[in-house]
Amino acid sequence: MNLKKYRKKSPWILHYNAGSCNGCDIEILACLAPKYDIERFGMINTGNPKQSDILLVTGPVTKRSRERLVEIYAQMPEPKVVISCGACASTGGVFRGMYNCEGGIDQYIPVDVYVCGCGCRPEQIIDGVVQALGILESKTRDIEQSLKLKNEAITEEGQTNRRNIAAEL
Amino acid sequence: MGKQYEIPVGAQHISLLEPLHFKFTTGNEKIIDTAASVYYVHRGIEKACCTKFKFRQVSFVVGRVCGLCSISHTTAYSQVAEKLVKIEIPRRAKYLRMLVIELDRIHSHLLCLSHVAENSGFEALFMKTMQYREAFMEMLEAVCGNRVQFDYSIVGGVSRDLKPETARMILTGLKKFRPQLQELFHIYQNNWTLSLKNKGTGVITRKDALRLNVVGPFARATGLETDVRSQTEDLLPWKEAGFRIITEQTGDVYARNMVRLREVENSMEMISNVIDGLPESPIIQETKSFPDGEAVVRLEAPRGELFYYAKGNKTQVLERLKIKAPTFSNISAMVEGFRNNEYGSVPAIIASYDPCLSCTAR
Amino acid sequence: MKRIETTIGTVKKDIGNFYQFDKQHFIVMNAVDLGEKLEIQWFFSDYNSTGEVTAYCAQVNPGDEIPSLKSIIPSAWVAEAELADLMDIKIEDTARGFVLEPDSEPAPLRKKK
Amino acid sequence: MDLYIKILLIILAPFIGGLIYGLERVVKARMQRRIGPPLLQPFYDFFKLADKRRMIVHSTHAFLGIMHFFSLWFALAILILGGDLILVIFLHLLSTALLILAGYSTRSIFSHLGANRTAVSVLAYEPVLILIAVAVFIQTGSFEVSAIYSSARPLLFSMPLAFAALLLILPIKLKKSPFDVAEAHQEITGGVELEYSGIFYEAVYTAKWLDEVFCYTLVYLFGAGNPLIGLGLVVIVFIAVNALDNSSARVSYKQMLRFSLAVALPVAFINLLLSVFQ
Amino acid sequence: MSTFLKTIGNLFKPPVTKRYPFEKTFLAENYRGMIGFNEEACIWCRRCEMACPPGAIVFSQAMDGKQTYHYNRAVCIFCEECIRSCPKAEAGALYQTGVPAPCALKEENINNGWADICSEAVRGREAYSAEKKRLAAQKAVVKEATGNQADESTAGKI
């Protein structure tokens, strides 16, 4: 049977803050709140990369948080999509070109949906997630790697060992 | 279970809004030692503010230092810049700044309270508090045009005027919120399981608060009467708006919740006073001069004392801008506060500190 | 803001005499690059109703070591560690790497010659 | 005939459990003034997890998880078929023990903590269950569950205290606030199930559903003999447990242990004495 | 305990959730949304570009002096400083649409593509100004030449 159509029915989200100003983070919290209750779409905010399908990243990648970002991305099992919430996560926004910022998370991991706005409204986040679900359905289960990944994922008898997959940058 | 565990919390953890990293050494889930690393969010805003941006633009950049106290940052910067360019802003602008600061304080405190509730495992209370908070987000959006990044105070005044229908909306919203606030009071005070989690955990005594220079609700919960709003009459007329210092005695999580709830109450009074006594005057004072000399400004952000130091050199670009965020002063006390607590109550304690690391790291 | 000029030789003694932990509140430590010299500033405010800000200022050369105030003010270590990284100044028993990563630009807040 | 129904029940147990779980999520959402997920949400999750890429920590870990599921199912089967109550309780204990082993078999610190806490919660509710079982034995004269099914007078009336004791430990078994220390999401991010992912997480996830069925069957036992009373009990307990879940914070595991040993255990014990001396 | 009863009571109250994608939510009438641009009213003074803190507005310039306006909604921080600085704001050169910005997909290449646009714009402008300088210099030379001829001609008359 075709299981693909169930992907968009239970997207479990993981939220990582790569050095944002909390503006978008509290909006993500507000999405969980009763007014915009994203559990309607079957979303759970799992704090656990290994069980989540959608990675919501906020903030321009600061130099100290980038390894964690790549690690978390590597720990998530495919199929997975990445949503960058807010101007600074998408392009660096007002922090573009500051000395400790990398200017957008898509310098490190492939981003599927860019949510604009500073800080992005919950409506915008929901729109972005809805678009991401369409992408999630069309994804395959091949390993996606972050853009600046140094060492390859080791594959031994068909199982992928991701212990040392994250890039040391 | 006698052996000691090294429990890392962060950088990504479900009970954390922002990347900070704690390493707890625990035996039987009782915390023996704590190590913290907080500078995950360092972006280099100070540098950019004195090289890249003109002094008019900086007020929008410092707003992005922190999304929760963005209005406090923009206001503090605008005040320090006004001191440097030596202008006096109109009264109406002062009142409008106060209005937005207090609205922001309410939404920030409610967020913190809901976060405490969720981290102590009380999901329903988290939902309830967030639900009540949405009303204030709508007010802020109606006043400033955006939900979290307000960009309301600019150098010389405020960016937009308060429409009468918006004022009416705020007043009706406050009237609607009062019984809900009483309900929250009731739950946070009387819920037995919540008190098991919150009473007597994360205690900081008044002496420690003085020794470690703690600021904000964190300090006021220990009975230390420190509130910059009572000391900076010259910048914003807090006393006219009916501000009063709120303190609790036992410096635990419960006391912090109570301080926040009662400050929300006080802020509601202040907002209604401000809207009633809103003077008629232009809202912005234009200027052509450039910043010169040096000045400091202290402002009470939702989390405590915010400190700005600026130095100008008669050009568009500032010479030096120093931002001291409230959490910056609390870090050493935060590490102290965990000692001899259950690991189970750590998330609640972290949330009750209401840490704002993007302020701290800039 | 009340400025009190001092030197790094005497700053520890001055602040030791001035600061009582239940009367003054240590705000933050700051440094300004004046070109060839640096100005280090320690900001204090009173707990009383006026809350006046006092700034102890000392001019130093980039090379020399600044005494640490941890013995007087326990919570000063955060400011000192941050400043040591951002301004690239030597502070007594303060390690580097509190703020910056190894590969990020050193001494960002210093003026580039 | 009756046997067929029972076998059908056993086969459908995961499905029923999933329905209960979904209903629970809807009820929880409604208690928080939210709309909440659709009723079939757990099954959507199930199929989605089946579709994920397989990642395991090590094979033993995954195997223990699956064993946990099947042993739990077996315990449920015996319970429904009317087997030995003590055997049921110990099978349930075994399945939990397998989960605890799985927790200890990984390197993750949170998984270890979760295993610790699960062990503590077992310590909290098992004695009460056993005391109840003994009391049932004294009442009905045998450890067979079928005896309860066939007993004319529901246990609820013959020993209400036992029912009270069961109510007190039910939140611990169902991992509900205030006693959800075993998978405290904000503290140890799910505890034992932390390291599972994809298809292997299904075992733990569906085992939760089975746990629901198991617990509510225990509740049903107290009304057995008269199905109406039994179902009524189940509904009331369901609502009560969820309301408690949504009106209380999580207590620390030491407080939980103290509570169950100081309140639930005495209640069960008094009930035992009463049933001995009447 | 009262919380317990209230929780059960909530079962029978309607949820407060707004079914967002199918139901409208609160949007302030003066919400700070995307920035609109009207080419007719613009006087190409580039004040907005200078005022914009993140640099979300860039004018690129072709060789014939024709400027084109680029706006990146993912860089914009919606502070309205450009509108405040625009001399033709009343005429509607820059205006506030009040619409929240829609999401961008991978295809748009909104981050690195924008960097390209910016560098392209800078290069174009430099080239244009250099060209203008060259023309000006040429004109000056020509003018000088013509001026000399004029002198000679007058000299010739006398």
Q: Among residues of chain B, what percentage have pLDDT more than 70?
A: 96
Paired tokens of B300:
């009470």
CB-count burial class (<10 Å; 0-12, 13-18, 19+) for B48:
buried
How many beta carbons lie within 10 A of that of residue B230, not counting itself? Answer: 16
Out of B117, B128, B193, name the one closest to residue D178 (CB).
B193
Cβ neighbors of D47 (< 8 A, separation 6 or more) are A3, A6
Convert the pLDDT of each residue in D28-80 to its tens digit: 888 888 888 888 888 888 888 877 777 777 778 888 888 888 888 888 888 88
Convert the pLDDT of each residue in A85-109 to its tens digit: 888 888 877 787 777 777 778 877 8
Instruction: Give the residue numbers in D contacting A (CB under 8 Å), as ranges.
Output: 25, 29, 32-38, 41, 44-45, 47-56, 185-186, 189-190, 194-198, 201
Is B332 close to C78, i.e. CB distance below 8 A?
A: yes
Q: Chain C residues with CB inside 8 Å of B320's CB?
A: 32-33, 109
Select the more confidently predicted residue: B159 or A162. B159
Which residue of chain E has the CA closest to A85? E103
Crossing angle between the packed helical segments B164-190 and B123-144, to the nearest 10 degrees: 160
| Residue D184's pLDDT band (cuts 50, 70, 90) | low
Q: Chain B residues with CB inside 8 Å of C25's CB?
A: 213, 215, 226
Is the model's pLDDT at E37 over the cut of 50? yes
Spell out the SS3 assignment of chain A.
Answer: CCCHHHHHHCCEEEEEECCCCCHHHHHHHHHHCCCCCHHHHCCEECCCHHHCCEEEEECCCECCCHHHHHHHHHHCCCCCEEEEECHHHHHCHHHCCCCCECCCHHHCCCCCEEECCCCCCHHHHHHHHHHHHHHHHHCCCCCCCCCCCCCCCEEECCEEECCCCCCCC
Select the more confidently predicted residue: A1 or E75. E75
Paired tokens of A140:
């395959």
Tell me whether B1 touches chain D (CB under 8 Å): yes
Select the more confidently predicted residue: E116 or E21. E116
Give the per-residue pLDDT at C78.
80
Tell me whether A37 touches chain E (CB under 8 Å): yes
* Least confident range of B28-37, B131-140, E148-157: E148-157
* Least confident range of A117-131, B180-194, C11-25, E122-136: C11-25
The stretch D178-195 carries a mean pLDDT of 69
The stretch A40-51 carries a mean pLDDT of 80
Terminal-to-terminal C-alpha distance of chain B: 41
Give the per-residue pLDDT at A165.
47
Give the per-residue pLDDT at B16.
67
- Does the N-terminal peptide bond of residue B282 adopt cis geometry, omega within 30 degrees of 0? no
Q: Residue B220 and residue B249: Cα distance in Å, rounded? A: 8
Paired tokens of E36:
């609109």
- Helical residues (DSSP H) of C1-113, grouped into ranges: 11-18, 77-87
Is the model's pLDDT at E29 over the cut of 70? yes
Give the per-residue pLDDT at A167.
43
Q: Residue D92 and residue D173: Cα distance in Å, rounded? A: 11
The stretch B265-282 carries a mean pLDDT of 85
Q: Residue B39 and residue B42: Cα distance in Å, rounded? A: 6
Out of E21, E54, E101, name the one closest to residue A96 (CB).
E54
**Pairs of CB atoms within 8 A across A/B:** 131
Residues 235-274 of D with CB under 8 A from E: 239, 243-244, 246-248
* Contacting partners of chain A (3+ CB pairs under 8 A): B, C, D, E
Give the per-residue pLDDT at D213.
86
Is the model's pLDDT at A156 over the cut of 60? no
Paired tokens of C69:
């105030």
Give the per-residue pLDDT at B14.
63
Instruction: Single out the residue of B221, B209, B271 nearest to residue B246, CA to CA.
Output: B221
Out of C27, C43, C75, name the one closest to residue B332 (CB).
C75
Q: What proportions of chain C, in percent to the nearest 5, are helix, strand and coil?
A: 20, 30, 50
Q: Residue D230 and residue B43: Cα distance in Å, rounded? A: 62
Tell me whether E88 touches chain B (CB under 8 Å): no
Give the per-residue pLDDT at E1.
67
CB-count burial class (<10 Å; 0-12, 13-18, 19+) for C12:
middle
Is D109 close to B14, i.e. CB distance below 8 A?
A: no
**Pairs of CB atoms within 8 A across A/C:** 13
Give the highest mean pLDDT range of B136-140, E106-110, E111-115.
B136-140
Does residue B319 sit in helix, strand or coil? coil
* H/E element, D70: helix D59-81
Is B345 close to D189, i.e. CB distance below 8 A?
A: no
Determine the distance in angstroms separating the CA of B105 from the nearest CA of chain E, rounded to an integer.
20
Is the model's pLDDT at B26 over the cut of 80? no
Is the model's pLDDT at C75 over the cut of 70? yes
Give the per-residue pLDDT at B12.
66
Q: Among residues of chain A, what percentage have pLDDT more than 70?
A: 81
DSSP D144: B
Q: Which pairs from C14-21 meet CB under 8 Å and 24+ separation?
A: C14/C56, C15/C42, C15/C56, C15/C69, C15/C72, C16/C72, C18/C44, C18/C54, C18/C56, C19/C44, C19/C72, C19/C73, C21/B210, C21/B211, C21/C73
- Residue D196 Ramachandran class (φ > 0 left, ψ -120 to 50 alpha, else beta): beta
Tell me whether B149 touches chain E (CB under 8 Å): yes
The stretch B236-253 carries a mean pLDDT of 81
- Best mutation site among B21, B37, B52, B231 for testing chain C: the one with the most C CBs within 10 Å? B231
Q: Residue B309 and residue C20: Cα distance in Å, rounded? A: 23
Convert the pLDDT of each residue in B184-210 to its tens digit: 888 888 888 778 777 778 788 888 888
| Residue B54's pLDDT band (cuts 50, 70, 90) | confident
Give the per-residue pLDDT at E156.
45
* Contact indicator for A47, A21 with CB cutoff of 8 Å: no
Q: Residue A112 and residue A80: Cα distance in Å, rounded? A: 10
How far is the CA of C74 from the CAs of A63, B8, B210, B221, in angstroms?
29, 25, 11, 21
Q: Return mean pLDDT, chain B.
A: 81
What is the number of alpha carbons within 13 Å of residue B194 lying toward its C-beta? 32
Select the more confidently predicted residue: D219 or C101. D219
| Residue A159's pLDDT band (cuts 50, 70, 90) | very low
Q: Chain B residues with CB inside 8 Å of C57's CB?
A: none
Q: Among residues of chain D, what percentage have pLDDT more than 70?
A: 91
| Residue A169's pLDDT band (cuts 50, 70, 90) | very low
Which residue of chain C has the CA closest to A169? C103
Q: Residue B155 and residue B151: Cα distance in Å, rounded? A: 11
Q: Chain D residues with CB inside 8 Å of A7's CB?
A: 48, 51
Convert the pLDDT of each residue in B311-342 to its tens digit: 888 887 888 888 888 888 888 888 777 777 77
Paired tokens of B339:
């000692």
Phi, psi of B196 (to 5 degrees): -55, -40
Tell me whether C36 touches chain A (CB under 8 Å): no
Is the model's pLDDT at B231 over the cut of 70? yes
Is the model's pLDDT at D215 over the cut of 60? yes
